[in-house]
Structure 1
Amino acid sequence: MSLVALAIRACTYLALRGATWAGDCVYESKLEPIDVIVQAETQPFITIAIDEASGEPKGHGASLLAAVDRLLLVIEIAVGVRALAEDGSTIIGVPPTDRGLEWTMDILVRQVMRALSTNPTWGDLWRRFRMELNGIRLLRGGAVDGERYAARQIVFDLHPVSDPDVGIIPASGSLWGTFIAALRGLDAADPELAEYRALADLIEAEIAEPHGIGSWQIVAARLGLARQSARALGIVPEGDGMLDGEAALVAVVEMDHGGGAIVVVDEARTDEIWPGHGPEAPQ
């Protein structure tokens, strides 16, 4: 989706893990539906996912790195229990709601909100990444044959920050620099957290790796400009800021002679069409 979507999911997971009655039964981007996950759990659990990302870039120079301006973050909560069937077999599932389970779900929702609002590291980063909160919806997680079940969805409609620019190492005090440093500070002895420590290197490499991109191209990407527009604004340096091997490409011209036929003219054919002006012409 985007780096900011990844960051928001990670911050949500790290803020909620161990902060609610679900304990460590918190899962990021779990693909199985609740009735499958619950087979492995006999206590409350939480799943985290981003179900939708969208944006409405405006103007000719809209940047793709700033294109996503809306994310739907879905936090799903359920309570799993074991029940004994009449034949003595054990049935695992999401229990139908009763007063006690409703109380449990209400308190779990409150604990989620509290963790995201007060966690000094991951809750703070979560709030910085989401920038604006457009709305919240609380939905029941499911129903079968008209019977409601002890599962809830919290849907956050978020306006996130833009993805970071390319080819720039995040400064230590910046949002992305702080996020990467916090990931690296996680407990390496915890297998789950160790994966997030490794994530720091992946994110930093993706942001900082220039891939042969020059500084003027970073600026053009930020502004969503094509080369011609960047050149007109004086962003492209002298020599067109061309990369190695690029000069031969821009020396090719397509000429339409009106009948729909395209004639490709490069430096080698210039002298045929315009004698004395080819690459071998005297200067």
Structure 2
Amino acid sequence: MSLTRIAARIAAVQALKGRTLVGDNVLDSQIGALEVDADGSLRTDEDRPFISVYTDASKSESYVLRGWVANGQTDILFEMGVTASHVETNPETGESVVYPGIPGTDSAFEFMMDIVARQIGDALSDPENEWAQVFQGLHSGNAKIERARTSGDSGGVRLAAQQIKLTVDLWADPARGKVLGDQSPLGRFFAKAEELYDSMFWTQIELMQAQIAGTSFEWQTIQRRYGLIKEEMDALLLSTPEGAEPDIELVEIDTQPAEVSG
């Protein structure tokens, strides 16, 4: 439903790539990256330490009339995990590490997750990280940050994981027909997205842009944004006079009676 929600998730993923101990293994809504089996045990199919980013529950209580574009408070989840199967053994020294210099022990797993959690916050608030700046521009502030950890043993494979739930106040979506300014939140996102070269990604971007494209008549955009019915538009003097072209712009109304000739 929300274009801003999609943009925030993509921007967060791009902002984190290469900026934490998991490297480029930052996943966009990867289903199954971290799962709980029927017996309550954790498992993951990832072959190396990862971060997976999701947009979760949201709630808007600031909508106006019947509008559908408000986003309100939205939960963005960052799930990170490392397992014993991610440990690599140096064939020459026999040393097993999950990261150069970090051994594959339980305490090292927890340490790594703590560092990655810190790195997520650093990356998303980095003024020199252009994708982080795009991400921050899509919301008005952090409403809440919650952190949780878990660990387990699935099929003899030890796993440690953490989750950060970031609740942000997302800006409202532009209504269909709204012309985006270059410095608008989504305008900046689309401009930055031009740097990404991926056919599937560009199909997604084109679909997002198509949801905004449409009539540019200001009165119709206003009607869509607030869900106004015709009688309300008429009462607010926002609709065009009957019989007028839909794109006519009313700049002045002369109420003086015409001069009567002889």
Do residues 20 (structure 1) and 20 (structure 2) align? yes
**1:156-208, CA deviations, whole angstroms, 9 ceiling, x for partnerless residues?**
0111000012113322232222111110122x2xxxx4533443322222212
- After superposition, the Cα gap between the structure-2 partners of 1:141 and 1:10, relative to the gap in structure 1 and judged at 3 Å, is farther
- The Cα shift of 1:124 comes to 0.6
User: Secondary structure at 2:79's aligned position in 1?
Assistant: strand
Q: Name the CA distance, whole Å, in 2 between partners of 1:31 and 1:242.
A: 50
Identify the match of residue 120 of structure 2 among 112, 115, 118: 112
Letter in 2 for 1:39: D
- The Cα shift of 1:116 comes to 0.6
Identify the match of residue 179 of structure 1 among 189, 201, 223: 189
- After superposition, the Cα gap between the structure-2 partners of 1:12 and 1:26, relative to the gap in structure 1 and judged at 3 Å, is same
- After superposition, the Cα gap between the structure-2 partners of 1:166 and 1:240, relative to the gap in structure 1 and judged at 3 Å, is farther
**1:71-126, CA deviations, whole angstroms, 9 ceiling, x for partnerless residues?**
11110000133289xxxxxxxxxxx9732111111110011111111153110111
Q: How does 1:229-268 map to 2 (within 5 A)?
A: 229-239=232-242
- After superposition, the Cα gap between the structure-2 partners of 1:28 and 1:141, relative to the gap in structure 1 and judged at 3 Å, is farther
Q: Name the CA distance, whole Å, in 2 between partners of 1:46 and 1:225.
A: 42
Work out whether residues 82 and 159 of structure 2, in 8 Å CA contact, stay in contact via their aligned partners in 1. no
- Greater length-normalized contact order (CA 8 Å, ≥ 6 residues apart): 2
Task: Judging by fraction of residues, say which structure has more helix.
Answer: 1
**1:131-169, CA deviations, whole angstroms, 9 ceiling, x for partnerless residues?**
121010001145569xx9510000001110000121133
Identify the match of residue 140 of structure 2 among 111, 131, 136: 131
What residue number does 1:38 align with? 44
Q: Which runs of 5+ in 1 are unaligned?
A: 85-95, 244-283
Structure 2 length as normaliser, TM-score?
0.74
- The Cα shift of 1:26 comes to 1.2
Structure 1 length as normaliser, TM-score?
0.69
What residue number does 1:251 align with? none
Larger Rg: 1
- After superposition, the Cα gap between the structure-2 partners of 1:113 and 1:224, relative to the gap in structure 1 and judged at 3 Å, is same
**1:59-79, CA deviations, whole angstroms, 9 ceiling, x for partnerless residues?**
6x242112x201111100001
- The Cα shift of 1:47 comes to 0.6
Letter in 2 for 1:139: A
Q: Name the CA distance, whole Å, in 1 between partners of 2:231 and 2:152.
A: 57
- Number of aligned positions between the proteins: 220
Work out whether residues 27 and 48 of structure 1, in 8 Å CA contact, stay in contact via their aligned partners in 2. yes
- After superposition, the Cα gap between the structure-2 partners of 1:37 and 1:142, relative to the gap in structure 1 and judged at 3 Å, is closer
Do residues 153 (structure 1) and 163 (structure 2) align? yes
Do residues 200 (structure 1) and 205 (structure 2) align? yes
